[in-house]
A and B are shown apart, each in its own frame.
Chain A
């Protein structure tokens, strides 16, 4: 906006304001009604939905679903969609940071005097695009599969061996299922495709020692599983090694 446009705006605004009503009581009345509605909604949600408390946090086990509050789903989904490892930092911090900076800079980027949404096609399209993208990512995040079920049959020779060996394999499968790996990895048809690589054939790619090293000392954002009890950890590694 140049100087003349600024002055025009201020003049026009002064007129509109002079033709308006006092804040008290007119706007205050609307604001109060809205405040009552907001409180009523919060109270109703609290009564109907309650406040659940899951099992106590336990750094050494299992059955966790690393899911953030729903309004962070769109960030988590971004991670899932952008997979090449060299791009992961971009997805996790890069894009959110760029979005935050862009958001702060909006008034300095768009400095035209026009305010009507239908006459600001670029800004309006951009706004609708951002809303649609966030809504879509949130929807994807909300529908990401439940990450603790693996349908997989034991390999032939383990099934044939039966007994202890089979039990060890089943235990490993259970630990894998309960440790939330599927939130970030795909095993066969189960789990989410990303942010981690699929583990369907991980046994063919990595030897046991490398698997154990990855689990103890993973690359972020994968959490470390070094606190699992040794027998569970061994079962987990042995199970992964059979995935070929």
Chain B
């Protein structure tokens, strides 16, 4: 079983001409191509993944799909950027109150491209928050949360909350004056909440006071718990997008089928 890709929309002249039988011997690149195809076929024979890939990639998007519909995937790319740069930061970062600041200073001033990667992580968070709000605005004003996509809105809303938790927990990590005091105030604000407030604050601080384990707790939440949840929920979100299809812009009406029009004449 071979995976058949549709022809990409390139002009006729640029398409490679098919090889005529007996014209010449298969070149090295032909052999390579065939090798590739049979490797893919080998994997597919054992996993049947091509069905899923085809379902995801070759579904149709409705008429009128425009640039506003790229905001969701743009948010996803901003998240991927956070994940990638975060991995590199984690190679140097040390979440202990004595070393956190020093390790951040090392990243910023000494590690190769350190400040650049830290900058990408820092400004990437701003870009991601802006994009997620724009994407949410798009789905809101297009009425895309209505039947049958209610559940996808709910998943998205949880993603928004988790994204905000990411930036709250990440803000403490450089452990400079600004991040330290802003986080103290932030945790205290949580503590004023009704019912769960005090418990939430104690959980975040790992105790009644801001102590040695607070920082590692924030770090674990920031780099394991929440990103895991976000990645899983993005998966669910995209599954629903592919399953239900994206909306058409609300002002579009379908043209009636030309076949039907012919008959009614």
Q: Taking beta carbons and an 8 Å cutoff, which residues of A are in contact with B?
A: 1, 6, 9-10, 12-13, 15-28, 30-31, 33-35, 37-39, 41-43, 45-47, 49-51, 53-59, 63-72, 75, 79, 88-89, 92-94, 97, 100, 103-104, 106-108, 110-117, 120, 123-124, 127, 131, 180, 220-223
Contact = CB atoms under 8 A, between A and B. Distances in A.
B18 interface: no
B250 A13 contact: no
Interface string B90-110: 000000000001001100100
B115 to A, nearest CB: 5
A71 B126 contact: yes
Contact of B142 (A21, A56, A117, A223): A117
Interface residues on B, range: 35 or more
B143 interface: yes
Nearest to A28: B57
B86 interface: no
Contacts of B203: none
B177 A56 contact: yes
Contact of A223 (B63, B81, B181, B193): B181
Contacts of B160: 103
A20 B61 contact: yes
B161 A100 contact: yes
A88 B142 CA distance: 36
Contact of B61 (A12, A21, A222): A21
Interface stretch (B28-36, B39-47, B67-75, B227-235): B67-75
Contacts of B58: 22-24
Given A51-B108, A103-B160, A113-B146, A89 B73 contact: no
Interface of B: 6, 8-9, 56-65, 67, 69-71, 73-74, 77-78, 81, 101, 104-105, 108, 115-116, 118-127, 129, 131, 137, 140-150, 153-154, 157-158, 160-161, 164, 167-168, 171, 174-182, 184-186, 188-194, 197, 210, 245, 247-248, 250-255, 257
Given A38-B131, A51-B108, A221-B189, A115 B177 contact: no
A34 B254 contact: no
A46 B56 CA distance: 34
23 contacts: A15-B257, A16-B62, A16-B252, A17-B60, A17-B245, A20-B65, A20-B248, A28-B57, A33-B70, A41-B127, A42-B127, A53-B104, A59-B210, A66-B182, A66-B185, A68-B168, A69-B126, A92-B193, A103-B157, A115-B144, A116-B250, A221-B192, A223-B188
